[in-house]
């Protein structure tokens, strides 16, 4: 299964130590009984540590799921753990959540509520179109898919180019004229197949260790976000 990481920006001026202080012990739990046994359900933050210039932690969600077994509904407790990291890049702080978009948004929202009472303390990070294109345009042969949105054609929401078509630079340039690049899947110089969207959802289609995935996002994606913000 592909590994996904979504990046957010922390606009509240908080140090890693302050973030750790506000998140330590944070959670909302209640007890629910299933088959005569009590289980804690809700969410909590665990395993906080500041290491190598990052604040690392785990966001755990626990709930009771209803499953079907041979026509019978069975309730079972389930826990889902999501790794997250706060990373400082210059004067900016980013939050990286190792989950697909919907869960990453939910986790980031919970974390934002803990670190600040101000709405908008944690916001979605965005890449500029030209910065996303910089990730793959120098190596067109390594590109698998490019998706264009904001297409200026009647009844067309998006356009998609696939590997072989990208060799036709004329077609690629024509699509650039008609829309804006939103998402691209490409092979990195290190051989990883990665999908990057402008809303900073990064999907790793190659087998990769989570530590390596976080490092890729930290070294390749976050600097582009920070540079775009400084130019705006």
The residue length of the chain stands at 232
pLDDT for position 17: 96
Measured in whole angstroms, the distance separating CA 12 from the mean position of its chain's CA atoms is 19
Cβ atoms of residues 136 and 220 within 8 Å: no
pLDDT for position 167: 59
| 151: CB partners within 8 A, 6+ apart | 157, 158, 159, 178, 179
The band of 200, judged by pLDDT with boundaries at 50, 70 and 90, is: very high
- Domain 3-124 class in CATH: alpha beta
Model confidence at 197: pLDDT above 80: yes
Its pTM stands at 0.91
Which among 17, 60, 13 is positioned nearest to 41, based on CA atoms?
60
pLDDT for position 33: 86
Model confidence at 168: pLDDT above 70: no
Of residues 172 and 166, the one with the higher pLDDT is 172
pLDDT tens digit sequence for 23-82: 999 999 999 888 888 999 999 999 999 998 899 999 999 999 999 989 899 999 999 999
pLDDT tens digit sequence for 108-165: 999 999 999 888 899 999 999 999 999 998 888 889 999 999 999 898 889 999 987 7
So where are the chain's domains? 3-124, 129-231
pLDDT for position 232: 53
pLDDT tens digit sequence for 208-229: 999 999 999 999 999 999 776 5
3-state secondary structure of 173: helix
pLDDT for position 140: 81
pLDDT tens digit sequence for 85-113: 999 988 899 999 999 999 999 999 999 99
């Amino acid at each position: 299964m592909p590994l996904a990481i979504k990046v957010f920006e922390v606009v509240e001026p908080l140090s890693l130590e302050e973030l750790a202080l506000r998140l330590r012990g944070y959670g909302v739990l209640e007890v629910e009984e299933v088959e005569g046994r009590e289980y804690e359900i809700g969410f909590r933050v665990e395993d906080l540590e500041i290491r190598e210039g990052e604040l690392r932690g785990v966001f755990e969600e626990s709930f009771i799921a209803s499953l079907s077994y041979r026509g019978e509904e069975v309730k079972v407790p389930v826990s889902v753990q999501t790794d997250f990291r706060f990373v400082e890049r210059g004067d900016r702080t980013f939050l990286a959540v190792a989950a697909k978009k919907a869960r990453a948004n939910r986790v980031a929202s919970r974390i934002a509520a803990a670190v600040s009472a101000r709405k908008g303390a944690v916001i979605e990070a965005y890449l500029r179109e030209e910065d996303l294109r910089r990730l793959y345009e120098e190596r067109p042969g390594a590109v698998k898919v490019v998706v264009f949105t904001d297409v200026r054609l009647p009844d067309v929401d998006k356009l998609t180019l696939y590997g072989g078509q990208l060799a036709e630079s004329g077609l690629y340039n024509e699509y650039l004229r008609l829309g804006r690049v939103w998402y691209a899947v490409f092979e990195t110089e290190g051989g990883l197949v990665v999908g990057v969207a402008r809303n900073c959802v990064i999907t790793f289609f190659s087998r990769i260790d989570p530590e390596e995935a976080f490092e890729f996002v930290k070294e390749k994606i976050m600097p582009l976000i920070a540079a775009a913000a400084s130019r705006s």
